[in-house]
Structure 1
Amino acid sequence: MTKFVRGEVPKTRPFQFADLAELLLLVGDYDELSHGDLEAVITQGVPDSDPDEKSDNTDHAVEVNAREQRYIKGCFNHLTYRVNAFDDIYPFEMDQEVLVKKASISQQNYVYLFLLGCSRLGSFNDLKFRQVCAHLFVEIAAQALKKLMSANSKIWIFDANSDDRRSHFTTNLQESLRILAREMSERHDEMVVIQQEPSGDGGLDIVGIHQFPDKGRGYLVFLGQCAAQKDGWPKKTLEPRRLNTIFNFSHQPYNLNFIPVLYRNITGAWVNEVYTADCVIVDRLRIVKTIYQNGEGLSLKVFQKVKSCVDKMASFSG
């Protein structure tokens, strides 16, 4: 039986607590969410690490309740931020601090819901489905990157199992790296290339290149890593930089990290700017805003996959 596993209740991290609240509406655990409902979620769920509670076990029940109310208020403040930040893209409505899912879901709403699900894929207890979602997230990231580049730029998915690897590059990583060097108009270190395992993607998920119509060295290059996960993505922010040992870049390519997480506080700033060093974070907000910046959206083929995944997410029981 497919099941949505709540797991840890991230009450001390408003951006993740808000995700859990939205997902509980998506999977149908609740028809609406109020302050009282989130109190029940905290009580029933697996607690996260709250240093206040660990260090103050003798707190009076009233003080503990006051702390829980602050966490719930923080969650609702983040949900309110989302209502304003995403506007029509947001698939939920807030009325008197009660959150409900919209009765009619648009294409933009579906994309938001898919990214929401990808931000907590571990809660869906179907490994094959999680893998499908992770691969689809890379496709969406590639379409977002395409919107950031000129119309005649080339975008490839470099993931080992992608169609682009089979058709344009090869399934052999070493040969793919040689081809990539030519596409970027850069030089590679053959000694380092042959040290690589023939399988895998070398820490690179998507590539975007604007190729100039001349023989000069060095094109405009975007290297992207995609991380459809709740917590582990900061470890991937600098993975494309490892390619500096393989390619003798004439200049540093743009390093992009695509994440489905809405990694923001209620002001719209990053939760922790340490993880934005030497890379451009493209989170949920930037992905959907980029995809719909000209009102075009996803290709029909990709959107149909998105809708199918979201419909399946909604079928998981809590």
Structure 2
Amino acid sequence: MTSMISFNIGELQVGTPHLMADLAELLLLLDFNGRKTIHRNELLSIISQEAKSVETIDADLLDEAREHDAESHDSLERKIDFIWSQLEFRESTLGDAYPYIVDGDELIMLDTLTDMQKIYCFLTCCSRLRSFSAFSHLGSINQIWAKYFTFLCKEAAKALAPAGKRTSVRIFDVGSPDRAIYYGSDLRLALTTLGRDLGVISKNDANCNQTSSGDGGFDIIVDYGFDDCLTSNYGILGQCGAQETEWPTKTLESHSYNLRHYFHTNYDLPAVMFTPVFYKQSNGRWVNERHTNAVLLLDRQRILNLILDMSLEKSITHSPWFIKYEISLSQMHYSIY
């Protein structure tokens, strides 16, 4: 796909342990120091370089800045403590799906990874796509891996779908194989098919015909048709957000009230939000409960659980798109700056 990949650490979310834990894991995945281990002091050094810059210190205030060095160091140490607690929580709750070992002050990556551990690493990459920079004839690696994340979410959604031959799980997102083959690339035609599958009462032609492009805010569609020619089939509306901090703005895009813009329905279909972010504090609670309002939030841990429950890990890691992801990761030269 490409011969060069750069990993730009960029802005650090120092006060956000679950995101800083991702950074520590990615640095090991990318073999940033030539070892499969990172000491907490190495992470402290990276944070310290971000926390202050010599160029920004006024010469007249240099003495005062030095007086606060000890206090600043203590503050950073506390932040590292929170990050380490997050890593320890992940190890204890994820079990065999976690590809790392927390050994005292060191985070160690396993030499050989299982299928579930490979999927964990893929999700971690998707949670910080802004740091990756590479291009191929297919486009940017950020866009390609975001599309692959949607493929993964489709597999995970199968665990939520009713069992049976009348159930279908498809990707409604633009550019997906399902959109091209089943729904059609033209949004107007795609919405017609979607409305039929969900058994809507009627279609708002004026709104459905406004544009031929886009996905209307829906990425994953689960539908169960009863084949009785009546209204109101069962369905799930899903949205995928392969973003580090911006995904909460997308949580309501797939909510059923957005379906009302296009259709008249009898009831509100359940909505799910997929994020590759491990969105839990070290005490097991959500980082921000508000972002779970009105949707079923499926973060990294929950996605892994869905995949594991359906025993889909091997089929996922052997799929063409996942193999392409692994090849692109293993054959690239890393430049971390």
Q: Same fold (TM over 0.5)?
A: yes
Counterpart among 248, 254, 278 of residue 234 in structure 1: 248
Contact 2:188–2:212 (Cα < 8 Å) also in 1: yes
Offset, 1:311 = 4.8
Q: Distance in 1 between matches of 2:40 and 2:30?
A: 19
Which residue matches 1:192?
Answer: 207
Counterpart among 137, 145, 148 of residue 149 in structure 2: 137
Which residue matches 1:245?
Answer: 261
Q: Distance in 1 between matches of 2:316 and 2:18?
A: 30
Q: Distance in 2 between matches of 1:101 and 1:223?
A: 36
What letter matches 1:6 in structure 2?
I
Equivalences for 1:274-289 in 2 at 5 Å?
274-289=290-305
Matched, 1:26 2:41: no
Q: Distance in 2 between matches of 1:158 and 1:223?
A: 10
Offset, 1:297 = 2.1
Q: Distance in 2 between matches of 1:300 and 1:234?
A: 26
Which residue matches 1:173?
Answer: 187
Equivalences for 1:53-202 in 2 at 5 Å?
60-127=68-135, 128-152=140-164, 153-186=167-200, 187-195=202-210, 197-202=211-216
Q: Distance in 2 between matches of 1:296 and 1:198?
A: 35
Q: Distance in 2 between matches of 1:244 and 1:209?
A: 17
User: What secondary structure is seen at the aligned counterpart in 2 of 1:82?
Assistant: helix
Q: Distance in 2 between matches of 1:162 and 1:121?
A: 19
Q: Distance in 2 between matches of 1:304 and 1:109?
A: 18
Equivalences for 1:28-43 in 2 at 5 Å?
28-30=31-33, 31=35, 32-43=37-48
- Structure 1 pair 208–294 and aligned structure 2 pair: CA distance change class (3 A): closer
Contact 1:8–1:46 (Cα < 8 Å) also in 2: no
Which residue matches 2:282?
Answer: 266
| Identity, % of aligned positions | 31
Pairs aligned (count) = 309
Q: Distance in 2 between matches of 1:93 and 1:233?
A: 28
Deviation readout 1:103-130 (Å, 9 max, x if unpaired): 1111111100000000001111125211
Highest CA radius of gyration, 1 or 2?
A: 2
Which residue matches 2:59?
Answer: none
Matched, 1:317 2:317: no
Q: Distance in 1 between matches of 2:78 and 2:187?
A: 50
User: What secondary structure is seen at the aligned counterpart in 1 of 2:77?
Assistant: helix
Q: Distance in 2 between matches of 1:103 and 1:301?
A: 17
Contact 2:152–2:316 (Cα < 8 Å) also in 1: no
Contact 2:38–2:108 (Cα < 8 Å) also in 1: yes
User: What secondary structure is seen at the aligned counterpart in 1 of 2:159?
Assistant: helix
Offset, 1:97 = 2.8
**Gap runs ≥5 in structure 1:** 48-55
Contact 1:141–1:258 (Cα < 8 Å) also in 2: yes
Q: Distance in 1 between matches of 2:190 and 2:320?
A: 30
TM-score normalised by the chain length of structure 1: 0.92
Contact 1:140–1:302 (Cα < 8 Å) also in 2: no
**Gap runs ≥5 in structure 2:** 53-63
When the two chains are superposed, the root-mean-square deviation of aligned CA atoms in Å is 1.9
